[in-house]
Structure 1
């Protein structure tokens, strides 16, 4: 009985720690999974970016919005959720499997899916059923527009190796920018 009581006490204390302070259980594992995502995106490199200079494109990632401290909690979670969902959409296609090492690509997509599952619960907790549109405006729309540009670009470039390399590099930068946002959500 004392063991069960100790365990329950520990669970209560953990739920009021840094991960639970935002009404969302965004664990350290989620932050670590974000680091793994960036690492996998780095490992996917197949060409030198210098080889693909002629294919460079500014997709206008809304970096100021993501890195800035002015996002409300619901907006921050919504932005991260949209980034994960859209990245999964980009890399979870038959065209991407032709461009990348399938083992690394599968690890990336699995990790993105797991992070999305973490954020699904958080997004529902923070925004609630009625207020779900609140977090999905402004910064989230900017992230959606960013990824629409990526899809258009890949299509225009006929999913060439260099187009994929430029997209991989840009999405990796976007995830690096969002790392501070993930850390802030955990605190």
Structure 2
């Protein structure tokens, strides 16, 4: 009987405590991956940004969407996921690797995929049924609109090397701005559902 009780206790502990912690502890790895992805984005530079000054564009990055002090913790997961998904989708565009080293692009895609997988694990454990509703709220919608503007710009510029360089710099800037959200999630003081 004591053995059965011990096994049941262990099973309960494994299915509730550590599993929940494991998913969101992955955010430590997420931050490391984010830094690695930023390095890859910097290394992808093949054209001097000065050469592409005529192609510069102000994309109106929705800063409030990624400002850790403005976004509720529950929205932070949604915003980070949306940002990574949009960058990943953008890099999957047919003409995305024209000016870049394909090895670097592939490494970046793998890094983004790993980050998305980590966030998905945390998302499922922390958000449950709230998740889909958050994907349609203000900050997430603002990011979708921002990336739609980038796609339209690339199409207008016919996916030129300079257009991709401008977009690379913009992605680098926007991706860097997610650090506040990552820090907020990493230093969270409890349930992500609390404002």
Give the TM interval when normalised to the shorter protein. Answer: 0.7 to 0.9
- The aligned counterpart of 1:159 is 159
Instruction: Give per-residue Cα distances to partners, 1:13-71, cap 9 Å, x unaligned.
Output: xx78xx949x8333311100000111100000111111111111111111133124121
Runs of 5+ consecutive residues of structure 2 not aligned to the other structure: 1-9, 188-195
CA RMSD of aligned residues (A): 2.3
Structure 1: gaps of 5 or more residues = 1-7
Report whether the alignment pairs 1:107 with 2:100.
Answer: no
- Give the secondary-structure state (helix, strand or coil) at the position aligned to 1:90: helix
Tell me how far apart the structure 2 counterparts of residues 103 and 121 of structure 1 sit (CA, whole Å): 27
Deviations 1:102-155 (A, max 9, x none): 100000000000100111122222321255213541101111111000100000
Report the counterpart of residue 4 of structure 1 in structure 2: none
Question: What do the CA deviations read for 1:60-83 (whole angstroms, capped 9, x no partner)?
Answer: 111133124121122111000001
State whether residues 65 and 79 of structure 2, in contact with CA within 8 Å, keep that contact through their aligned partners in structure 1.
no
Aligned to 1:75: 75
Q: Which moved more, 1:131-140 or 1:111-120?
A: 131-140
- Kept in 1: contact 2:64–2:71 (CA 8 A): no
State the alpha-carbon separation in 1 of the partners of residues 130 and 48 from structure 2.
Answer: 47
Which residue matches 2:132? 132
| Aligned counterparts, 1:13-162, within 5 A | 20=21, 24-162=24-162
Q: Which has the larger radius of gyration?
A: 2
Q: How many residues align?
A: 173
CA contact (8 A) 1:73 1:126 kept: no
Question: In 1, Cα distance between the equivalents of 2:26 and 2:138?
Answer: 23
Q: Is the 8 A contact 1:26 1:186 kept in 2?
A: no
What is the SS of the residue equivalent to 2:178? helix
TM-score normalised by the chain length of structure 2: 0.81
Q: Which shifted more, 162-171 or 115-124?
A: 115-124
